[in-house]
Amino acid sequence: MISVENLSKCFVTKAKKALDSNKVDPRDHGNLFYALKDVSFHCGKGEVLGLLGPNGAGKTTALRILSTALKPDSGQVIVNDVDVLTKPLLAKEKIGFLSGKTGLYGRLTARENIEFFARLHGVNDDFLKNDAERIYENLAITAYLDRRVEHLSTGMQQKVSIARAVIHEPEVVVLDEPTTGLDIMATETIMEFVQYIRSQGTAVIFSTHHLDEIALLADRVSVIFQGNSCFDGTVEDFQQHADDLDLRKAFMNVLREAS
């Protein structure tokens, strides 16, 4: 279970000249940018939460806070009774995070990348020799584990990155747009893997712009718009924002209601 409550985050930026007020982001105040103003969402054990929002809404900032890469100005993140903000090292044991970039070492093999991060998390050799194979098979990466990452396709690299993120069997997995730029086959493998780890009781949070992924995977939906949460609930409740239950229309209507 992960609970995110009332996150806010402000960044200092270079001062900007006054522009047309209709085109300025309302979070922009001179040399301060309020990336998050009030964001809250929740995801239970064995649930999948789809995080939606326009580009620049604050999704990645929120997910980086979950990963402990950023500290918020205010708010709280709790993972199974562990406060992520006050106990980040303990929280990292419970969270697997995939950022928008693979972050892999190109000159190492896929296996070497995964096992390097596994050992940072204290994963023992017996697990890597035996149980890790289950993860490799479910992500369809067994055939190229011993190839250097720099020689792998984008889809292959993404699947290796996911294996690296879950190799320590975290209780919560956070994926930032995991299928962006991938072909149909790679996307299908990742979608099936999310379903698999959910069946194991893992809580999964993933950001996406693809509403078909929400329809296929999500139990819950959270929408962020201009740094604020404007919806957090079940997929069924989200669909009620459109007369015909269409997810695209529901999304647009939620944004209109928040404007």
In percent, how much of the chain has pLDDT > 90?
A: 88
Amino acid 201 reads G
Tens digits of per-residue pLDDT, 58-99?
999 999 999 999 999 999 999 999 999 999 999 999 999 998
Average pLDDT over residues 108-122: 95
The pair of three-digit structure tokens given for residue 215, joined into one six-digit string: 């329809």
pLDDT tier at 163 (50, 70, 90 boundaries)? Answer: very high
Which class for 31: exposed (0-12), middle (13-18), buried (19 or more C-beta within 10 A)?
A: exposed
Q: Are 170 and 199 in contact (CB under 8 A)?
A: no
Number of domains in the chain: 1
- Is the per-residue pLDDT at 140 higher than 70? yes
**pLDDT value of position 18:** 52
Q: What is the CATH number of the domain that holds 43?
A: 3.40.50.300
Q: Are 216 and 186 in contact (CB under 8 A)?
A: no
- Is the per-residue pLDDT at 113 higher than 70? yes
What whole-number distance in Å separates Cα of residue 232 and Cα of residue 226? Answer: 15
Tens digits of per-residue pLDDT, 195-209?
999 999 999 999 999
Tens digits of per-residue pLDDT, 2-37?
999 999 999 998 765 555 555 677 888 888 999 999
Distance (Å) of CA 59 to CA 63, 143, 174, 234? 6, 34, 12, 18
In percent, how much of the chain has pLDDT > 70?
A: 96
**pLDDT value of position 89:** 92
Q: What is the pTM of this model?
A: 0.91
Residue 101, domain extent:
2-258
Which class for 111: exposed (0-12), middle (13-18), buried (19 or more C-beta within 10 A)?
A: buried
Average pLDDT over residues 115-139: 94
**pLDDT value of position 197:** 96
- Is the per-residue pLDDT at 102 higher than 70? no
Mean pLDDT value across the chain: 93
pLDDT tier at 100 (50, 70, 90 boundaries)? Answer: confident
